[in-house]
Amino acid sequence: MVKHVNLLIGSACNMKCGYCLQTNEQSPADHKADPVAFAHRLVKYLEGCRVERIAYWGGEPMLYWERIKALHSTLRGLGITPQQSTITTNGRALTDGYVEYANANPDIFTVVSWHDGEFTDEQLDLIFQLNQFSISMLVHHYQTDMWAARDLYYALGERYGRYPNTAVHFLRANDGCAKDYYMTQEDVDVFCSHLETVIEMARLGDQWALWQCSQLLYHRNTVRSRVGPMCVRDELLSVDLHGNTYACHHNYDASNITGNIFKKIIPIKAVAQLSPRRFFDSDECRQCEALEECRGGCYTSNTHEIDCYFARKRYRLYQTMEKLFK
């Protein structure tokens, strides 16, 4: 039964990040679609399901805002009222209209991807007008610590009178990501040594460090609550506005289509060697102490050995973190 829905709106973006996971800027999701008609068909498909979360994905969602707004309002009008509707944006194209709509609908949570900063004051002002948001930063080969997140936390807290929820995520080294961003074993060691310092800071009472440790544990616990591989499981539907379903919401390429919720014929077979369970079901992963927390990692990863090394080191560090909150 579907509990979580990823709605894949389109791949257009106003930034060109080297670590972007999209492998193709011209995917079936980009073909013209009627969001209202799709919403009605989707509701029929989800009949009997209790949808807890819907995530709206680009590209850059703000380039598709009118389409997303029509989807969100139609789904709500038809009785699909998830606990959270997540919109992940780079924050550079936010508008007053988006802020007003998001604040009027408390289920909408905005994740702002930091992408190395360089926001204008006007952009930051709009972000901080949102009632519910977080700022997400990415760990990769060129970013192996979280000091930028700490600086951001305190600087923006002082400027706006409230501290932002800062989140840290880890690179997924798929075909869309430029190889120079891939993490090495040395990068992992550097980051984990840094994380040991952050844990000690949290133990001594640093507000940001405590928050960051709690965020990392929250994400770990979310993953632990799942059944099956990391991003591909029966309760999760990743679908574009034409009804095409995808093995992963990070890759809209036609070769990643697994079926169509409105058609019986599968248009394109998924690539066999990229089975979503190819790592999760391996003997190595099944015997690993960290499997419950990493779920085999990203099945499209080109650095699985490094991912495993990283997951095992984080597994032990998370055990140390837990003691902070007992």
- Which residues fall within 8 angstroms of residue 149, CB to CB, at 6 or more apart? 137, 166, 168, 208, 212
Q: Residue 240: is its pLDDT beyond 80?
A: yes
Q: How far apart are CA 175 and CA 182, in angstroms?
A: 11
Task: Identify the band that residue 268 occupies on the pLDDT scale cut at 50, 70 and 90.
Answer: low
Q: What is the pLDDT of residues 171-218, one digit of tens each?
A: 999 888 999 999 999 999 999 999 999 999 999 999 999 999 999 999
Range in 60-74, 215-229, 273-287 the model is least confident about: 273-287
Q: Residue 273: is its pLDDT beyond 60?
A: no
Q: What is the pLDDT of residues 81-124, one digit of tens each?
A: 999 999 999 999 999 999 999 999 999 999 999 987 889 999 99
Model's pTM, two decimal places? 0.92
Query: Residue 272 belongs to what domain range?
Result: 4-325
Task: Pick the more confident residue, 166 or 227.
Answer: 166
Q: What percent of the chain has pLDDT over 70?
A: 96
Q: How far apart are CA 59 and CA 74, in angstroms?
A: 22
DSSP string, 213-247: HHHHHHHHHHHHT--SSSS--TTEEEEETTSEEES
Q: What's the number of domains the chain is made of?
A: 1
- For residue 269, the model assigns a pLDDT of 52
CATH number at residue 213: 3.20.20.70
